Amino acid sequence: MPTARTCQPRALALLALLLLISLAACGQPAPSGAPSSAGTSRAGGALVPVLAVSELDVGPNRIAMGILQDGTPLNQPELKLGLRFFYLDGNEDTKVQSTGTAVYRGQGLPFGLYVGYATFDKPGNWSVEISIPRAGGAPQISSLRLDVVDTSRIPAVGKPAIPSKNLTIRDSADLTKITSDTSPDPDFYQLTIADAIAAKKPFVVAFLTPGYCQTATCGPNLLVLKRLKDTYKGKLTFIHVEVYPYPFGESFQQQKRVPPMVEWGLITEPWTFLVGADGLIQYRYEGGITPDEMAPALAQLAAGQPVTPLK
């Protein structure tokens, strides 16, 4: 049973995450030098873990989080967080259900992101105990409550991709009417999701808005995919779905989203889905992604192998 529990409701956690993002996006200094001891946080105030996911469900899940210290996002590549998962709704004494490690996945992002993976075998109340190494002392142990749902409102791993008809270059040769990306790559706007499913070839679909992103990660995510795209030319199709319809600024103010966002049940951005040739979702990523995390996953997808997240 974890001790020193600091359970937080999901709404408060998401508000804290937005704080973390806004601090980074507004240029607040994030510690970027080498830590006083490799793999440990710097000395200072209490460390506050912030869950960076909006939904967890039965099955495999990506557990992304940020760490705040003295109100500033921690950004230390060598830091590794120990994870222990507990199921809280059982009748017996709570026991460790699984363990894992969250490693740094903040390359190119405006804040430090730490990512681990967990598979939940039942819905209900869970918690994750997080062990954060500290320089010159014992690790700090904190816990977050996790609400695991039985059925996701968002297409889950192993479920069919939804055959949405997003805008493509066939709808408008002027890509500035399709995407808020200031340097759009035409390759991302050739096919609809429905087209890609019908082609029976693996593909990547990213729901994001470079010009109006509320998490400051949409632009970096699209840049990651642009850089990896040519490696898989002829093997993977890449699709970008803009979150807001044109005119983007007006739609952003009204929070009017494109039909595919609604069809896929997405209320946050960005989201990235890897879809196999059979049309089933191999893995999904909410929030920031990096080359270190995506490159091996895309290699598996292109080879027709099950996508196994990098541990």
- Range 79-84 average pLDDT: 97
- Range 40-44 average pLDDT: 64
pLDDT tens for residues 263-274?
999 999 999 999
**Cβ neighbours of residue 211 closer than 8 Å, sequence gap 6 or more:** 180, 181, 182, 248
- Range 285-289 average pLDDT: 95
Q: What's the residue count for the chain?
A: 311
Task: Indicate left, alpha or beta for 10 from its phi (over 0: left) and psi (-120 to 50: alpha).
Answer: alpha
pLDDT tens for residues 198-222?
999 999 999 999 999 988 999 999 9
CB 242 within 8 A of CB 209: yes
d(CA 173, CA 106) in angstroms, rounded, equals 35
Is the domain spanning 10-149 CATH 2.60.40.1080? The answer is yes
What is the location of CATH 3.40.30.10 in the chain?
175-302
pLDDT class of 29 with cuts at 50, 70, 90: very low
The residue among 48, 3, 37 whose CA lies nearest residue 133 is: 37
What confidence score (pLDDT) does residue 71 get?
A: 85
- The conformation of residue 29, written as its DSSP 8-state character, comes to -
Find where tokens 């990506």 sit: 62
pLDDT class of 22 with cuts at 50, 70, 90: very low
Query: For the structural domain made of 175-302, what CATH number should be given?
Result: 3.40.30.10
pLDDT tens for residues 47-56?
999 999 999 9
What confidence score (pLDDT) does residue 109 get?
A: 84
- Scored b (16 or more CB within 10 A) or e, 5-21 reads eeebebeebbebbebbb
d(CA 303, CA 311) in angstroms, rounded, equals 19
- Scored b (16 or more CB within 10 A) or e, 151-161 reads ebebbbbeeeb
Residue 45 has pLDDT above 90, yes or no: no
d(CA 213, CA 219) in angstroms, rounded, equals 8
d(CA 207, CA 263) in angstroms, rounded, equals 12
Residue 28 has pLDDT above 50, yes or no: no
pLDDT class of 9 with cuts at 50, 70, 90: very low
Helix (H, G, I), strand (E, B) or coil at 306: coil
Secondary structure (DSSP) of 232-269: GTTT-EEEEEESSPSSHHHHHHHT---HHHHHTT--SS
What confidence score (pLDDT) does residue 309 get?
A: 81
What confidence score (pLDDT) does residue 164 get?
A: 98
Residue 297 has pLDDT above 90, yes or no: yes
183 or 9, which is more confident:
183
18 or 27, which is more confident:
18
93 or 172, which is more confident:
172
- Range 280-299 average pLDDT: 96
What confidence score (pLDDT) does residue 148 get?
A: 97
What confidence score (pLDDT) does residue 11 get?
A: 38
What confidence score (pLDDT) does residue 98 get?
A: 95
What confidence score (pLDDT) does residue 13 get?
A: 43
What is the location of CATH 2.60.40.1080 in the chain?
10-149
The distance between the two most distant Cα atoms of the chain, rounded to a whole number of Å, is 62
